[in-house]
């Protein structure tokens, strides 16, 4: 029998992607940081990390390289976590600049940089976070301690006059308030942190996983910060290619001049790629092509990744036909057969997002004739999106006003809703409780 691992199609799929692009010789390795020019143009690695912590590698997924600008979204995440969104936006805009990564263009009056994904905004972002926090934070995103490449750091420090110019301009305009040399020293160190394609995949997967590293389980940042960072990656992550990238690939992503790209599909996976030859905008040629192909072949575009629109209602039954396991007398059984229509039971399946919850509340509201008790069996519901929780909660409170009792069943006792009249662990307990109530009403006992 074949090795079980061979049956999984994903490794072959990534290997196919790798093989198809490995021969592409186009693009140029960055040379403006002298040390980066030593990169071998044939290096090419891909890794995909799932949100339950499985990593699929292809090619040179374990080769280290300096993270460069791919550090920007992660340091931005740390700045947001430390200072809050409003305070950070006041200092650094979030408008795609349409400019190159090293553009020298600031907001005329304030000197505020356009966004945190180009150098100006990234340098200012770095000024909001300590080096210790950056190193530890990026390590937490990757799930391991990260080293720095001192040769690349030195090389950039000695030649980084353009970044120095940007920093002095911001300092002059009053937008950068820390010492230029100290801030750039941290920025150059941050860019020289060594990662692999595998690390980038895990880092991106952490953002896709609402800020929780899928391998270590550590909540590196909160879900709001993770969503904010993914948003800024989507609009500004690919420099002056950001718009076309979002159109063609549709994944929040960030690239860097050493040839790395980290991209994520929220709630689904993270992917890390590495290949040094760059196109004219400074984005890795093979990494871009791999993402384009992956997205097109599997329909992974953000705007196409739908909230499940299949009906999530598994079954609707009434107590007329379905009985609890409670022992009932002949008379009680007769009553339940006659009047059991007053109790409806709905087994709900899958994730509840806006679309699926809307169908559910509409369906319930339209079928209330003669109904006094509604059992909502949420046991097989996976993710309950906040909007679904709100809709169900509001419906339950309105039903209560209309004299209809809502009873929720959920084995994992998540305490999902605040308004239902009763919560039970099993459907049988819920049904028993409703039957008892119905029997009391019909027989006039209390």
- Could you say which of 75, 118, 239, 408 is catalytic? 239
Q: Smallest distance, Å, CB 157 to ligand GLN?
A: 10
Using CB under 6 A as the criterion, which residues of the chain lie in contact with ligand GLN when the complex forms? 68-69, 101-102, 119, 156, 163, 191, 256-257, 282
CA proximity to 104, closest of 90, 123, 85: 123
Instruction: Answer whether 208's CB lies under 8 Å from 268's CB.
Output: yes
Q: Smallest distance, Å, CB 119 to ligand GLN?
A: 5
- Could you say which of 55, 225, 257, 375 is catalytic? 257
| 11 exposure class (CB count in 10 Å sphere: 0-12, 13-18, 19+) | middle
Q: Please say which residue, 164 or 422, places its beta carbon nearer to ligand GLN.
A: 164
The residue sitting closest to ligand GLN, measured at its beta carbon, is 69
Q: Please say which residue, 260 or 347, places its beta carbon nearer to ligand GLN.
A: 260
- Examine the residue annotation and report whether 187 is marked as an active-site residue of this protein: yes
Beta strands in 31-141 (DSSP E): 45-50, 55-59, 65-66
Residue 116 CA to its chain's centroid (Å)? 19
* Structure tokens, 217: 């389980």
Largest Cα–Cα distance in the chain? Answer: 92
Q: Please say which residue, 68 or 213, places its beta carbon nearer to ligand GLN.
A: 68
- Could you say which of 69, 97, 339, 372 is catalytic? 69
Element (H, E) at 78: helix 71-83
* Structure tokens, 291: 């993402």
| 104 exposure class (CB count in 10 Å sphere: 0-12, 13-18, 19+) | middle
- Examine the residue annotation and report whether 239 is marked as an active-site residue of this protein: yes
Q: Please say which residue, 102 or 206, places its beta carbon nearer to ligand GLN.
A: 102
Q: Please say which residue, 103 or 408, places its beta carbon nearer to ligand GLN.
A: 103
Angle at 382 between CA 378 and CA 384, to 5 degrees: 75
Q: Smallest distance, Å, CB 69 to ligand GLN?
A: 3
Q: Smallest distance, Å, CB 67 to ligand GLN?
A: 8
**Measured between alpha carbons, how far is residue 22 from residues 10, 41, 248 in Å?**
18, 10, 21
Q: Can you tell me which residue has the tokens 């920007």?
A: 72
Q: Please say which residue, 115 or 163, places its beta carbon nearer to ligand GLN.
A: 163
DSSP class per residue in 367-412: --TT--EEEEEEEEEEEE-HHHHHHHHHHHHHHHHTT-EEEEE-TT
Q: Please say which residue, 192 or 220, places its beta carbon nearer to ligand GLN.
A: 192
Q: Smallest distance, Å, CB 79 to ligand GLN?
A: 17
Give counts: helices (H), strands (E), the chain.
17, 12
Of the CA atoms within 13 Å of residue 249, those in its CB half-sphere come to 29
- Could you say which of 72, 94, 175, 372 is catalytic? 72
Q: Smallest distance, Å, CB 422 to ligand GLN?
A: 57
Q: Please say which residue, 186 or 215, places its beta carbon nearer to ligand GLN.
A: 186
Q: Smallest distance, Å, CB 426 to ligand GLN?
A: 55
Q: Smallest distance, Å, CB 307 to ligand GLN?
A: 34
Strand order of the β-sheet with 313-318 is 313-318, 343-352, 373-384, 405-409, 422-424
* Structure tokens, 215: 């391998």
**DSSP 3-state assignment of 144?**
coil
CB atoms within 10 A of CB 297: 11
- Examine the residue annotation and report whether 71 is marked as an active-site residue of this protein: no
Handedness of CA 256, 260, 265, 269 (dihedral sign): negative
Angstrom distance (rounded) from CA 203 to CA 208: 9
Q: Please say which residue, 102 or 409, places its beta carbon nearer to ligand GLN.
A: 102
Pairing of strands 45-50, 269-274: antiparallel
Q: Smallest distance, Å, CB 116 to ligand GLN?
A: 13
Q: Which residues are catalytic?
A: 69, 72, 187, 239, 257
């Amino acid at each position: 029998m074949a090795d079980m691992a061979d049956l999984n199609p994903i490794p072959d799929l990534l290997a196919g992607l790798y093989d198809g692009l490995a021969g592409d010789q186009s693009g140029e390795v960055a040379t403006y940081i002298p040390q980066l020019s030593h990169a071998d143009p044939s290096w090419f690695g891909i890794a995909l990390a799932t949100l339950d912590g499985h990593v699929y590698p292809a090619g040179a997924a374990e080769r280290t390289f300096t993270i460069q600008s791919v550090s920007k979204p992660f340091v931005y995440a740390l700045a947001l976590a430390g200072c809050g969104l409003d305070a950070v936006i006041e200092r650094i805009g979030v408008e795609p600049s349409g400019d190159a990564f090293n553009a020298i263009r600031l907001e005329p009056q304030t000197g505020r940089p356009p966004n945190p994904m180009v150098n100006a905004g990234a340098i200012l972002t770095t000024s909001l976070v300590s080096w210790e926090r950056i190193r530890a934070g990026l390590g937490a995103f990757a799930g391991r301690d990260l080293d720095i490449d001192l040769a690349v750091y030195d090389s950039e420090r000695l030649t980084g006059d353009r970044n120095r110019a940007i920093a002095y301009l911001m300092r002059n305009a009053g937008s950068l308030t820390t010492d230029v040399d100290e801030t750039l020293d941290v920025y150059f160190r941050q860019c020289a942190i060594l990662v692999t394609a595998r690390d980038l995949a895990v880092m991106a997967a952490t953002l896709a996983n609402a800020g929780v590293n899928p391998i270590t389980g550590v909540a590196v940042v909160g879900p709001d910060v993770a969503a904010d960072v993914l948003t800024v990656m989507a609009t500004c992550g690919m420099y002056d290619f950001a718009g076309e990238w979002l159109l063609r690939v549709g994944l929040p992503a960030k690239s860097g001049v050493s040839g790395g790209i980290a991209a994520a599909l929220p709630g689904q996976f993270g992917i890390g790629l590495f290949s040094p030859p760059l196109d004219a905008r400074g984005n890795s040629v093979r990494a871009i092509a791999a993402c384009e192909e992956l997205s097109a072949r599997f329909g992974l575009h953000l705007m196409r990744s739908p909230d499940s629109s299949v009906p999530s209602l598994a079954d609707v039954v009434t107590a007329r036909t379905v009985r609890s396991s409670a022992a009932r007398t002949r008379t009680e059984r007769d009553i339940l057969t006659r009047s059991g229509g007053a109790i409806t039971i709905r087994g709900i399946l899958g994730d509840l997002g806006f679309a699926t919850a809307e169908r559910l509340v509409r369906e319930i509201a339209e079928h209330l004739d003669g109904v006094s008790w509604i059992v909502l069996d949420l046991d097989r519901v996976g993710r309950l999106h906040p909007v679904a929780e709100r809709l169900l909660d509001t419906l339950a409170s309105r039903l209560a006003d209309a004299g209809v009792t809502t009873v929720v069943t959920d084995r994992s006792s998540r305490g999902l809703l605040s308004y239902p009249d009763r919560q039970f662990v099993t459907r049988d307990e819920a049904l028993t409780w409703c039957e008892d109530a119905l029997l009391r009403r019909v027989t006039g006992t209390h």
